[in-house]
Structure 1
């Protein structure tokens, strides 16, 4: 029945159109299909180049980033016609949603403005949201309001001014306006408003954190948006069961835009994904404000004793004696069995088979558990297929002129040992990467060279469910490949290869591939210098790729000086261009591996430097840990005087974070423990 009854607004609108046609007045188009308006993203589409009067701040108390504003906020505005391109009027029913931290009430604070819509050549407010000493005030007008006046509705709410974070939702429908604070307290008032209001947006501007005649907003703003329709509180505020909203609208590629606005509650549990990272949500059930961060809805309103720990220092914990130098290591858990670690042990001065070690975590240390015969082991990879648990080793072999077998081992629950499951013929394999696409399992093998030829195909294998074996499905041309890294972005699967040397120079392109129609196709290339490793990681909403560059040889370094000294590069995803762009370069000394990890809310990168700095100096080798510092990017946090390292891994057990590295030149690798404060 409801669908058969025309909306009263459209009846009135039809009469207005008919009148305009009769009188010859210009016909103005009504607004429809308007998208949510993200005011912060409109005035600051590039967070690295903010307008005057706007800056990024980090709230140490609540551990999140937001925007702070200064007295120079008059420049923070944009024309309304950028949004209202096909219409001239503000939506009849709308909602305003703001997540703010308001300074505690002081005697000298009067009016402060969160946003306003004003005529371009006038100081009069058509629509605005501001704060007084203990009230939140909505300023509004309609087509019968004169230019020198405005109407207001105010709500007294002292709780908003306690110095904490709060979510304010104002919905306007007909002649009523409703204020909802923190998804808990709701109050509705009648307002003096002509309906339809026909509030014109022509020759108007949106101002953020400022209104003419009022002070700039002195607090912090996390999000600020206007939604067509009056159901924002229902869409943004969860019920107690379930207590998570569903975010549905798709990402459209706008820079820094969080287009996943609160949706309906038809889905029992929302997914915290890269598209919803940074989204705030107030959990009524637990009374905590949460943020989507690294795949988890994490609370940010925490008692001081529950705040995330921070890294204080790193201390030696255990020496790991190995039968040969270690090229690579992998730490993993076998369900029901415990924590394990495999080391790829290989001494290139010996041409015979050598033993690689499987360790098991026992009574607080790693102890040798099993020896596996390997053929120039270069890397290990663990994975599960159904109830089966596997580890795979990439074997280099004894010569570039001979094929060898890389081996997949399967865990046998009865004997509690790894046994050979499948052998794959490879050429000087450097790496094996496992990944899963649409419930199907794959591995990518990086073949390094064949005899004197560095240009050789690397192979993609797919798991055959009937044969219970991997079979080849695609060959990809690579150039002295060292590493494959798989990651997922917005449902798309990517593989990036580290190409090292073409026979003439180490300065060549490494390539990023994307999965399309059952195969990987080239997506982007990067100029690298003897690349040995890629690391993909996320920080909040952003995705990064870090490449380890190890050797600078070729015409670009014709004097052959400091060949181990290279710039390793961190790339950041540009969502508009849909490309990774150079974000930061770091001077490294034969960098072999990047390892990203988190402690509390801090993001770190551990880097293995395999050579001295500068070359042939008597100083000890160093591995460096960098910490992400926002606009300062990655800053050196710790320098570790270690043996030459070729791989770093981090893991957490018993509430303690550990770091372990592989030593490629000596028969001793080391385990460190992170001390937190």
Structure 2
């Protein structure tokens, strides 16, 4: 179902963020680190004084358009407020070892021809931004934190920021130790915000009209990402877990109940695709084993919904896979996958663009 059409050289790529702007298709790829000559390979090393790579779609494929300073790049989130377009970047660390996790993450604004710095936000090991709206209110949620013996005293919870008309200001803290991800959705007239954490439980929060309040625990630890979808009037929530099997929950009218276990460890991100062959879930797997000596060359999965459950219909190789995004391309569908680590744990690998077929 996946046909490779382009490989883009990247280094420690942590996300793929597609968006359209001024009639062009773009792809933002933040990079965690680059290999440092003379130092041993490893996912915890390298030179993290990196740039985000911004590509524009041309006839020959994605071509480099702009580089934006984003040390230790983990995520990029494109969004609009009125006539303005923004790109928020999340930076986990800076330096070449020892590293600093206390680093600003920068929000850029489009000036008509390029992205220019708009706002710097002090963050600690920032992992992801997620923009969402409640009516006319704009929010930007920050997942952050690393809970290790040498970082515990400086660690910070995740934060939901709100647009005040001129900039983003703190609105609410969400308890966390090692946060990774967010997912916002509406269900039965209520608004929900899922928050993934590596050490703390990954929890689902519900908007009570004034703030987000804890609603349900989804996994006790090692949470990474979420996806929601609806089939035959039923709503489901998929939860990616890195050190255990991933889960699919079903909404029973009042809470989410376990519906299916997706076998295999290493789950990092999800993307949904629907075409003539049905509903598909793509799961990208990152690593298995310890961070000091991980296995990075894994198989990631394409599932198809059949008879009320997901079944694997294809597997494809990833090298420390970190993200997956679906891109509309006329009548076709593209899938971008970021890879971050070679089998021998070097950072220099490739982000891959696939065409998604409709094989029955």
TM-score category (smaller protein)? 0.7 to 0.9
Structure ID, larger Rg: 1
Q: In the alignment, which residue of structure 1 is the partner of 2:298?
A: 621
Shift of 1:395: 0.9
Shift of 1:549: 0.9
Q: Could you tell me how far apart the structure 2 residues matched to 1:344 and 1:620 are?
A: 21
Q: 1:488 to 1:539 in 2, by over 3 A?
A: same
TM-score, normalising length from structure 2?
A: 0.87
Q: In the alignment, which residue of structure 2 is the partner of 1:658?
A: 334
Q: Could you tell me how far apart the structure 2 residues matched to 1:521 and 1:319 are?
A: 43
Q: Could you tell me how far apart the structure 1 residues matched to 2:317 and 2:209 are?
A: 48
Q: In the alignment, which residue of structure 1 is the partner of 2:23?
A: 337
Q: In the alignment, which residue of structure 2 is the partner of 1:358?
A: 54
Which aligned pairs between 1:547-558 and structure 2 lie closer than 5 A?
547-551=239-243
Does 1 or 2 have the higher relative contact order (CA < 8 Å, sep 6+)? 2
Moved segments of 4+, more than 3 Å: 399-402, 453-456, 615-620
Which of 624, 627, 630 pairs up with 2:307? Answer: 630
Q: In the alignment, which residue of structure 1 is the partner of 2:249?
A: 571
Q: Could you tell me how far apart the structure 2 residues matched to 1:611 and 1:381 are?
A: 24
Q: Could you tell me how far apart the structure 2 residues matched to 1:612 and 1:519 are?
A: 36
Q: Could you tell me how far apart the structure 1 residues matched to 2:294 and 2:119 are?
A: 45
SS of match in other structure, 1:456: coil
Q: In the alignment, which residue of structure 1 is the partner of 2:104?
A: 405
SS of match in other structure, 1:479: coil
Kept in 2: contact 1:529–1:550 (CA 8 A): no
Shift of 1:407: 1.0
**Matched pairs, number:** 335
Which of 267, 276, 280 pairs up with 1:604? Answer: 280
1:513 is the counterpart of 2:202: no
Q: Could you tell me how far apart the structure 2 residues matched to 1:619 and 1:510 are?
A: 24
Q: In the alignment, which residue of structure 2 is the partner of 1:589?
A: 265
Kept in 2: contact 1:409–1:422 (CA 8 A): yes
Which of 126, 130, 133 pairs up with 1:433? Answer: 130
Shift of 1:589: 2.6
SS of match in other structure, 1:651: strand
Q: Could you tell me how far apart the structure 1 residues matched to 2:252 and 2:131 are?
A: 26
Q: 1:325 to 1:480 in 2, by over 3 A?
A: same
Kept in 2: contact 1:344–1:380 (CA 8 A): yes
Q: Could you tell me how far apart the structure 1 residues matched to 2:116 and 2:295 are?
A: 44
Which residues of structure 1 form unaligned runs of 5+?
1-312, 502-507, 552-565
Which of 419, 440, 444 pairs up with 2:141? Answer: 444
Kept in 2: contact 1:328–1:662 (CA 8 A): yes
Q: In the alignment, which residue of structure 2 is the partner of 1:315?
A: 3
Q: In the alignment, which residue of structure 2 is the partner of 1:389?
A: 85
1:647 is the counterpart of 2:323: yes
Shift of 1:618: 9.1
Deviations 1:44-103 (A, max 9, x none): xxxxxxxxxxxxxxxxxxxxxxxxxxxxxxxxxxxxxxxxxxxxxxxxxxxxxxxxxxxx
Kept in 1: contact 2:92–2:103 (CA 8 A): yes
Q: Could you tell me how far apart the structure 2 residues matched to 1:619 and 1:664 are?
A: 9
Kept in 2: contact 1:455–1:477 (CA 8 A): no
Shift of 1:539: 2.5
Shift of 1:674: 2.0
Q: Tell me which protein shows more strand as a share of its residues.
A: 2
Q: Could you tell me how far apart the structure 2 residues matched to 1:325 and 1:357 are?
A: 12
Q: 1:364 to 1:461 in 2, by over 3 A?
A: same
SS of match in other structure, 1:478: coil
Q: In the alignment, which residue of structure 2 is the partner of 1:580?
A: 256
Q: Tell me which protein shows more helix as a share of its residues.
A: 1
Kept in 1: contact 2:87–2:108 (CA 8 A): yes
Q: Could you tell me how far apart the structure 1 residues matched to 2:159 and 2:233 are?
A: 32
Q: In the alignment, which residue of structure 2 is the partner of 1:542?
A: 234
Which residues of structure 2 form unaligned runs of 5+?
34-43, 342-347
SS of match in other structure, 2:264: strand
Kept in 2: contact 1:404–1:428 (CA 8 A): yes
TM-score, normalising length from structure 1?
A: 0.47
Shift of 1:596: 1.5
Q: In the alignment, which residue of structure 1 is the partner of 2:40?
A: none
Shift of 1:654: 2.5
Q: 1:541 to 1:460 in 2, by over 3 A?
A: same
Deviations 1:608-655 (A, max 9, x none): 122369x99999521110000123x00001111233311111112121
Aligned-pair RMSD on alpha carbons? 2.3
Q: Could you tell me how far apart the structure 1 residues matched to 2:77 and 2:302 are?
A: 24
Shift of 1:453: 5.2
